[in-house]
Chains A and B, each alone.
Chain A
């Protein structure tokens, strides 16, 4: 296997809130490979967004801080780079799309200015060239009459159209990695499919680029991703190819997530849920992070955190009860 585009080693991102420490991300290691769509799935507060934001050091400090870890990208550890170098990676090599298209664009600047801005700051382009490129980018994401709409403000666009603008803006420098943090959560269902399709379409047209898709929606993962990380309590609990994960989920948490997807044939039956609530991020259990809600919990789960073990090629899981493959 070729060298991954991005390799994260033991990332720790903590938040300091009123004297307490929240270990939002505690020891995440992962790889983003060229050409893939990597899904990161988990509940709210599982640390999936913070993980992605940490890649390009977008954690607001204070209260957040990346305490430890390495993020290797093109032979450099992004966490150790000077700010000016990190800035050059942001938007140019790693682009990002956020959940809220309504608030993620600056309300007082035109769409055109905002879309061409990354070009102006990353490349030595004239305003006219950048303008033309921005028109093309907007056209490419399916904004009708793109040239005329360059001078419009965000409030003159619908939610779906704004998310298209966000995509155009994030991709205008042709980044190697696009991080999409719940890109369709705030949109209508019909629009969700369109925007997701647009993103994947743009992805397919570009060789060797990768998408990191953060979502809590397993259906989206199933349709779009090639590989999946399941996060819980600030840690990766399970990692597998998408087909493998859906056919053979191993971690009790992953199984719980799968069971809580409603199926048409189960109409009228009570939907399976994972009992309990996500534990407070300030007070995570010492052992397995899922032990407070796990249906098959054992005494040792409370005290001893299981390691992330590879149980089949490419399939890793963090659970005491899953029999490991002989070394």
Chain B
């Protein structure tokens, strides 16, 4: 067993390299990279009055004519573009191993500090959304399985599938439009993690303010997972209720509650439980679009803006954290398998 997990952890390394190398390569070829932006800035400064669009077009075609080669070489060196791709990647990877994720070109501070500062916000939303989804979906799925085919089952299926078909960020936009104090109701704040004057509030008001800012984003976080998790729970329990061992348990004269909630439920929680590690990894990383919609200054928001602004050091930094979380979550799932299912012993 120990050997298995050692292997799993070692296998994380090539996966990690694969993912980061792919994205690293992409950052090299996508137009509008940091050098082009720098060039643009320099040119904009030097030749005021020229149209922005025209400058951008020229920047890619006739850069050599306007930027001195020496400046160009310096720029390339600064962003590591002077080396061939594999070498540049290796040098980046070497820095990552030592904990150096580079420096943000936009904020001019080390990426690692930037990421750490945004992390708690994403964990806060991630954990609450995750817990809420499990707290709602597991009992709901169980109830649906027991009342399979009843009006309750049908209506709840309908509801969760409507939820499933709405992307979280789209729901977020809707909520903001209808309840965000615009033309319609003013129930939720327009965004942000807390109110601007949060520090001055009393302790109780702080909690309320935090909750006030939490409800809408959390709803968006959780809504997509409701359907999958609920249906997974329901189907898993239904399947187990049809098993021979359930009949055995009834034949022993156990009460129905004991048969359903101990014998069948324990088995049907196995797939739900093992998804936990995976889901945790995914959700902690934050959601680019939901954080962006609600203007929440978390990891997802940072990732989104860094992509738009081609702040590649940050893009890669956020990617490193996300990848590590997901890979770790997958191993966690394996650990959970061993914990909840005595039949499973990895070798």
In the assembled complex, which residues on chain A have CB atoms less than 8 Å from the CB atom of B2?
A: none
Contact (Cβ within 8 A) A108 B342: yes
Known: A108-B341, A109-B266, A153-B342. A103 touches B244 (CB 8 A): yes
Given contacts A153-B342, A153-B343, A155-B342, contact A106 B267 (CB under 8 A): yes
Judging by beta carbons under 8 Å apart, are A121 and B258 in contact?
A: yes
| Chain B count of residues within 8 A CB distance of the other chain | 23
Cβ of B243: which chain A residues have Cβ within 8 Å of it? 103
Chain A residues within an 8 Å CB radius of B340 = 108
Judge if B247 is at the interface, Cβ distance under 8 Å.
Answer: yes
Note all chain B residues with C-beta closer than 8 A to A252: none
B253 and A107 form a contact (CB under 8 A): no
CA distance A117 to B252 in the complex (A): 8
A residues 57-114 with Cβ under 8 Å of B? 58, 60, 83, 87-92, 95-96, 98, 100, 103-109
- Asked if B254 lies at the interface with its beta carbon under 8 angstroms from chain A, I say yes
CA distance A58 to B256 in the complex (A): 12
A104 and B267 within 8 A (CB): no
Q: Is the CB of A166 within 8 A of B342?
A: no
Q: How far is the CB of A149 from chain B (nearest CB, A)?
A: 14
Are the C-beta atoms of A58 and B247 separated by less than 8 Å? yes
Decide: B245 and A107 in contact? CB cutoff 8 A. Answer: yes
Interchain CA distance A96-B255 in the complex, whole Å = 16
In the complex, which residues of chain B have a beta carbon less than 8 angstroms from the beta carbon of A105? 245, 248
Contact B253 A90 (CB under 8 A): yes
B262's nearest neighbour on chain A, judged by CB, is A109
Contact A104 B245, CB 8 Å, known A58-B250, A155-B343: yes
A58: B residues at CB distance < 8 A: 247, 250-251
B253→A122 contact, CB < 8 A: yes
Bound-state CA distance A92–B341 (Å) is: 30
- Give the one of B245, B251, B254, B255 with max A CB within 10 A: B251
Q: CA separation between A89 and B267, bound complex, in Å? A: 26
Contact of A104 with B253 in the complex, beta carbons under 8 Å: no
Instruction: Determine how close the nearest CB of chain B comes to the CB of A131; give it in whole angstroms.
Output: 16
Q: How large is the interface on A (under 10, 10 to 19, 20 to 34, 35 or more residues)?
A: 20 to 34
Contact with A along B124-135 (1 / 0, CB 8 A): 000000000000
In the complex, are the beta carbons of B252 and A91 less than 8 A apart?
Answer: yes
Which among B242, B243, B250, B340 has the greatest number of chain A C-beta atoms within 10 A?
B250
Is A34 an interface residue when CB atoms closer than 8 A count as contact?
Answer: no
- Chain B residue with the shortest CB-CB distance to A84: B255
Kindly list chain B residues whose C-beta atoms are within 8 Å of the C-beta of A95: 251
B342 touches A107 (CB 8 A): yes
Contact B252 A121 (CB under 8 A): yes
Q: Give a binary string over A160-187; 1 marks a CB under 8 Å from any B CB, 0 the rest.
A: 0000001001100100000000000000
Interface status of B263 (Cβ within 8 A of chain A): yes
Query: Which residues of chain B are within 8 angstroms of A153 by Cβ–Cβ distance?
Result: 342-343
Kindly identify, within residues 228 to 246 of chain B, every residue whose CB is under 8 Å from any CB belonging to chain A.
Answer: 242-245
| A88-B253, A90-B253, A108-B266 known; A98-B248 Cβ under 8 A | yes
B249 within 8 A of A: yes
Answer yes or no: A234 CB below 8 A from chain B CBs: no
Q: Which parts of A112-166 form the interface with B (CB within 8 Å)?
A: 117-118, 121-122, 153, 155, 166
Most chain B beta-carbon contacts within 10 A, residue among A96, A106, A153: A106
How many Å lie between the Cα of A166 and that of B250 in the bound state? Answer: 13
For A115, give the chain B residue with the smallest CB separation: B252
Q: CB-CB contacts of B316-347 with A at 8 A, as 1s and 0s?
A: 00000000000000000000000011110000
Q: How far is the CB of B257 from chain A (nearest CB, A)?
A: 11
Contacts of A98 in B (CB 8 A): 244, 247-248, 251
Instruction: Find chain A residues with CB under 8 A from B247 CB.
Output: 58, 98, 104
Across-interface contacts of A222 in B (CB, < 8 A) = none
Closest CB in chain A relative to B264 CB, distance in Å = 9
A126 to B342 alpha-carbon distance, docked (Å): 26
**Cβ-closest chain A residue relative to B240:** A106
Q: Determine whether the beta carbon of B248 is less than 8 Å from that of A104.
A: yes
Q: How far is the CB of B219 from chain A (nearest CB, A)?
A: 34
Q: How far is the CB of B246 from chain A (nearest CB, A)?
A: 8
A201 to B: closest C-beta gap in Å: 22
Question: A258 at the A/B interface (Cβ < 8 Å)?
Answer: no
A56 contacts partner chain B, Cβ-Cβ < 8 Å: yes
Contact (Cβ within 8 A) B258 A103 = no
The docked-state distance in angstroms from the alpha carbon of A31 to that of B263 is 33
Considering the chains assembled together, what is the distance between the CA atoms of A59 and B235 in angstroms? 21
> A106 near B263 (CB under 8 angstroms)?
yes
> Chain B's nearest CB lies how many Å from the CB of A129?
18
Which residue of B is nearest A120, CB measured?
Answer: B254
Q: Are A118 and B245 in contact (CB under 8 A)?
A: no
- Chain A min CB distance to B23 (Å): 41
- B253 and A100: CB pair below 8 A? no
Q: List, in ascending order, chain B residues with CB within 8 A of A170's CB.
A: 251-252
- A91-B342 contact given A100-B244, A106-B267, A107-B267, CB 8 Å threshold: no
Contacts of B249 in A (CB 8 A): 106, 117
Check A89 against B253 for contact (C-beta < 8 Å). yes
Extra contacts besides A58-B250, A91-B252, A91-B253 (18): CB < 8 Å: A58-B247, A89-B253, A90-B252, A98-B251, A104-B244, A105-B245, A106-B245, A108-B267, A108-B341, A118-B252, A118-B254, A121-B253, A121-B255, A153-B342, A153-B343, A155-B342, A170-B252, A173-B253
- The chain A residues found within 8 Å of chain B, CB to CB, are 56, 58, 60, 83, 87-92, 95-96, 98, 100, 103-109, 117-118, 121-122, 153, 155, 166, 169-170, 173
List 26 contacting pairs A-B, 8 Å CB cutoff, sorted by A.
Answer: A58-B250, A60-B242, A83-B256, A89-B253, A90-B252, A90-B253, A95-B251, A96-B248, A96-B251, A98-B248, A103-B244, A105-B248, A106-B248, A106-B267, A107-B245, A108-B270, A108-B340, A108-B342, A117-B254, A118-B254, A121-B253, A121-B255, A122-B253, A155-B343, A170-B251, A170-B252
Which A-B residue pairs are the 8 nearest by beta carbons? A91-B253, A90-B253, A91-B252, A103-B244, A96-B251, A106-B245, A153-B342, A104-B244
